Amino acid sequence: MYDLAVIGAGPYGLSVAAHAAAAGLDLRVFGRVMASWRDHMPEGMFLKSEPWSSNLSHPGGAHTLAEYAAGRGFEAAHGRPVPITEFTGYGDWFARRAVPPVDERSVVHLAPEADGFRLRTEDGEETRARTVVLAVGLTPFRRLPGPLAGLPAELLTHSCDHRDLGRFAGTDVTVVGAGQAALETAVLLAEGGARPRLVARTRRLRWNTLPAPLERPLLRALRTPHSGLGTGWSTWVWAELPGAVRLLPARARRRHADPALGPAGAWWLRERYEGRVPELLGHVLRGSRVRADGRVRLDLRGPDGNATAVDTGHVVAATGFTPDLARLGLLDDALGRVLRLQPGTGAPELSGAFESSHPGLFFAGLLSAPAFGPAMRFVHGASYTAPRLVAGVRRRLRGTPAVPRLPHPSPAPPGSGEAAVGRRG
């Protein structure tokens, strides 16, 4: 029996595993390394966050993105966006140096036992662990607006469904949304020969400004401090004090934290977007249907309140993600029934150590955002999460009766699983 099983091998899963390994825990990590970044983000994308705030977390600050970049011959410098492909490579490099060999099979079932948990992989093999961390990334939680729900999959996709946007060359595509994913997807479509348009409820797009230099006069630095998610005191609180955010009353968190750090485009994308992507701002989706000719008709309400329609060859919903436990098909019914939820959400209620109401079951990443705030939607949040979560795991293990260890099953060969999370078998 392992001390800890980590389900998910993205930035949060790898960071937790690095701290657990350094603490001497006997652990197993499941999931294809950086699968969401490798398989669900189009080629040509860049990180929106600054390189220094995109490090995976390791005790003592080892194995940084800057260290990886130096070995690759590029500079991970403030104000210089990092390609997604390089960040994916960084995750692989970090995993080889900081965590035990990763088992790339999908975990399809997680069930509680008297002394821990039983995990079943896609090929039927079972593993037991005293504690478990679910760090499953974003893709299980795609949000599709209700007015688009009836469209078939060949005409409607989410922005995280694409690795190669080249398939849309020559096609008019409507991108729904106003955040970085929507704006960058529209730009990449245009640059790849498609004819994109943007539809968004907001009447004005928001763009981040060029980041202030790291070295500034003291007074200016005090007025607008840097944080891992941008400058300014409110941003600093969301980015650097997730524990304080968790202590807010649930209603206050929903009112203030949930909308914080809302949709905005990166400063370096603006020149590539403006003048190249037609847009319908202030337009609200009312419905959609497939026309007789196989195209999609989107019914909209314009900013003047009047109805209008758009016909398009394909719709890409860049509409974010909803943290909701009900979308995790791997959870055994016995777990689903006992997990308490954050009021007004489908996300788990968590302790300050990211432990759920079921002892020994921990959550990291997006599912912790309703408790700890918007930092958990970004890589930067892993640096807060990993040390505190592993400390919680160690406390839980000290209270767990000793159980004879079982022989470790051999890891599956690389590439035998597509992702960390599967539907229940």
- Residue 76 maps to a domain: yes
What is the total residue count of the chain? 425
Q: In the structure, what pLDDT confidence band is assigned to residue 79 with cuts at 50, 70 and 90?
A: confident
The pLDDT value given to residue 253:
87
Residues 96 and 167 grouped into a single domain: no
- Residue 175 maps to a domain: yes
- Cα 356 to Cα 351: distance, rounded to the nearest angstrom: 7
Q: What is the mean pLDDT of residues 155-177?
A: 96
Among the ranges given (254-258, 362-366, 394-398), the one the predictor scored with the smallest mean pLDDT: 254-258
Angle between helices 11-22 and 84-98 (to 10 degrees): 20
Q: Which domain holds residue 278?
A: 146-207+264-317
Residues 129 and 152 grouped into a single domain: no
Task: Give residue-wise pLDDT tens across range 181-235.
Answer: 999 999 999 999 999 999 999 999 999 988 888 888 999 889 888 888 888 898 9
Residue 425 has pLDDT above 70, yes or no: no
Residues 91 and 182 grouped into a single domain: no
Question: For the chain, how far is it from start to end, CA to CA, in angstroms?
Answer: 22
Among the ranges given (242-251, 349-358, 389-398, 414-423), the one the predictor scored with the smallest mean pLDDT: 414-423
Task: Give residue-wise pLDDT tens across range 288-315.
Answer: 999 999 999 999 999 999 999 999 999 9
Question: What's the mean pLDDT when you consider all of the chain?
Answer: 91
The domain boundary, picked from 317, 339, 359, lies at 317
Q: Which two tokens stand for residue 124?
A: 């039927």
Residues 161 and 24 grouped into a single domain: no
Residues 378 and 307 grouped into a single domain: no
- Residue 243 maps to a domain: no
Q: What is the mean pLDDT of residues 250-255?
A: 86
Query: Does 251 or 371 have the greater pLDDT score?
Result: 371
- Residue 87 maps to a domain: yes
Q: What is the mean pLDDT of residues 388-399?
A: 96
The pLDDT value given to residue 336:
84
Closest CA to 85 of 137, 39, 138, 54: 39
The domain boundary, picked from 288, 317, 346, lies at 317
Task: Give residue-wise pLDDT tens across range 88-107.
Answer: 999 999 999 999 999 999 99
- The per-residue DSSP string of 372-400 comes to H-GGGGSGGGHHHHHHHHHHHHHHHHHTS
Residues 166 and 192 grouped into a single domain: yes
- Residue 78 maps to a domain: yes
Task: Classify residue 424 by its DSSP letter.
Answer: -
The pLDDT value given to residue 406:
37
Q: What is the mean pLDDT of residues 69-80?
A: 89
The residues near 269 (Cβ < 8 Å, ≥ 6 apart) are 180, 183, 184, 187, 207
The pLDDT value given to residue 411:
38
- Residue 309 maps to a domain: yes
Q: In the structure, what pLDDT confidence band is assigned to residue 400 with cuts at 50, 70 and 90?
A: low
Residues 376 and 284 grouped into a single domain: no
Q: H or E stretch including 369?
A: helix 369-372
- Residue 250 maps to a domain: no
Residues 76 and 122 grouped into a single domain: yes
Residues 304 and 360 grouped into a single domain: no
Residue 413 has pLDDT above 70, yes or no: no
- Domains held by the chain: number: 2
The answer to whether the beta carbons of residues 397 and 69 sit under 8 Å apart is no
- What is the percent of the chain with per-residue pLDDT over 90, rounded to a whole number? 77
**Residue 280's domain is classified under what CATH number?**
3.50.50.60
Residue type, 403: V
- Residue 241 maps to a domain: no
- Cα 148 to Cα 359: distance, rounded to the nearest angstrom: 39
Residues 187 and 309 grouped into a single domain: yes
The domain boundary, picked from 252, 282, 317, lies at 317
Residues 158 and 98 grouped into a single domain: no
Residues 330 and 393 grouped into a single domain: yes
Q: Is the pTM of this model over 0.85?
A: yes
Query: Does 26 or 414 have the greater pLDDT score?
Result: 26
The pLDDT value given to residue 161:
94
